[in-house]
Amino acid sequence: MTKQDVAVVTGGAGFIGSHMVDLLLAQGYQVRVVDNLTGGRESNLAQHKNNKDLSCEWMDIRDLPASSKIFQQAKFVFHFAGVGDIVPSIEKPVEYMSTNVQGTVKVLEAARAASVQKLVYAASSSCYGLADVPTKVDHKINPQYPYALSKYMGEEACFHWQQVYKLPVNSVRIFNAYGTRVRTTGVYGAVFGVFFKQKLAGKPFTVVGDGEQSRDFLYVTDVAKAFLAAADTEHVGQIYNLGAGNPQTINHLVKLLGANDVVYIPKRPGEPDCTWADIAKITTELNWKPQVSFEEGVALMLAEIDNWQDAPLWDQESIKGATKTWFEYLGETQEA
C-alpha cells in the first residue's frame, strides 16, 4: 500500500462511515467522502479538517454521474450511504427504495466507470428477518419491512453488477454496530441514543419487552477494520456476516449504563428475540476478529455521554406514538 492509494467512502460523515475514514487515513490512504449530511455530520470529521489526504463532496448519491471525478483512480469504494430506521421506512417506502436501491446503482456505475479494484457494500442483517441463530450467510432471506428489503435489493444490485459488468464486489451484512458518533436524530431508533439521553435527563430507561432479548453488538472500530479486510483481500463476490458472535442482553446494557430506573414497553412485531452472527466465514477467510469487548465499548461511549445532550428525549407515550405505524403494519395491535 502506497500513499497514493485512493479510497471513496459514501456516507463518510455518518456513524460507521466516519470511523472508516479514520482508519483509512491512519493507514495512509487518500480518502474522498460523499455524503448529503442527512444522517451524517461534518463534526464527525472535524479532527481531519486540515488533513490534505481528505476531501469531501456534500451531495446525494442519487445525483452521482457515472463519470464522477470523485471515483476516478480509486482503488476501493466503501458504500455506507443510505437511509436507515424501521418506522420511517414503513411510512416512506419510496424514499428508501430510491436512496438504498437506485442510489446504490449510481454508486455502482461510478465505480464501474472508474474501474475500481473492489467495492464493499454495507449490507444489513435485517434481510434475514426472524432468523435462526447463530445466523449463517446462507440463511433464507425474509425482510420484514421496507428498510430491510431496500438494503437487500441494494446488495443484489451489487452482485448483479459483478455478474454482468465484472465489477469486483464483496458485501458485509452488519448486525448491531454501536460506538461513539452513533446517530442521534429525531427518529425513535437506536437503543444507545435513547438510553443515553434518558440517563442524562435522570429519566427511566424504556426497555422493550422484558429486556432479555439479545443483540450481537460490535464496536464500530471493529466494523471499520472488517470492511478494510473485505476490500484488501483476493476474495471476490463474497457475503460476510459481521458481529461479535457474542450476543448481549438489553438488561445487561442497562446495568452497564447504570439506569436511573426502568419502565417496560410492549414488545414489537418483526423484532427478533436474538440477533447472533455466525462469524466463522469472516474470521477464517479475512483473518479478522473482534477486538473491543462489549464492556470496553460501552465505557468508551459513556466517556462521551455529553455528546447526547441534544438527542431527543423519549418516554412511554412518545414512543407509543412514534411506533404506532410499526404495530399497524407489522401485524399486531399496540396495547393501550
Please report, in tens digits, the pLDDT of each residue of the chain (336 residues total).
445 899 999 999 999 999 999 999 999 999 999 999 999 999 999 999 999 999 999 999 999 999 999 999 999 999 999 999 888 899 999 999 999 999 999 999 999 999 999 999 999 999 999 999 999 999 999 999 999 999 999 999 999 999 999 999 999 999 999 999 997 665 545 789 899 999 999 999 999 999 999 999 999 999 999 999 999 999 999 999 999 999 999 999 999 999 889 999 988 777 889 999 999 999 999 999 999 999 999 999 999 999 989 888 988 887 787 778 767 887 643 333
Give yes or no: residues 121 and 254 share one domain: no
Instruction: Please say if 121 is a catalytic residue.
Output: no
Residue 323 is predicted with a pLDDT of 75
Residue 131 is predicted with a pLDDT of 96
Give yes or no: residues 237 and 265 share one domain: no
Give yes or no: residues 320 and 193 share one domain: yes
Q: Are 11 and 80 in contact (CB under 8 A)?
A: yes
CATH of the domain at 169: 3.40.50.720
Can you say whether the dihedral through the CA atoms of 92, 60, 188, 211 is positive or negative? Answer: positive
Give yes or no: residues 132 and 256 share one domain: no
Distance CA(196)–CA(263), nearest Å, equals: 15
* Residue 73 belongs to some domain of the structure: yes
Distance CA(175)–CA(109), nearest Å, equals: 27
Residue 3 is predicted with a pLDDT of 54
Residue 27 is predicted with a pLDDT of 97
Give yes or no: residues 134 and 197 share one domain: no
Please name the residues in contact with 277: beta carbons below 8 A apart, sequence gap of 6 or more. 125, 134, 135, 173, 175, 216, 241, 242, 243, 244, 245
* Residue 195 belongs to some domain of the structure: yes
Give yes or no: residues 314 and 172 share one domain: no
Distance CA(84)–CA(303), nearest Å, equals: 26
Q: Which residues form the domain of 224?
A: 6-177+218-242
Q: Which of 147, 152, 188, 219 is catalytic?
A: 147
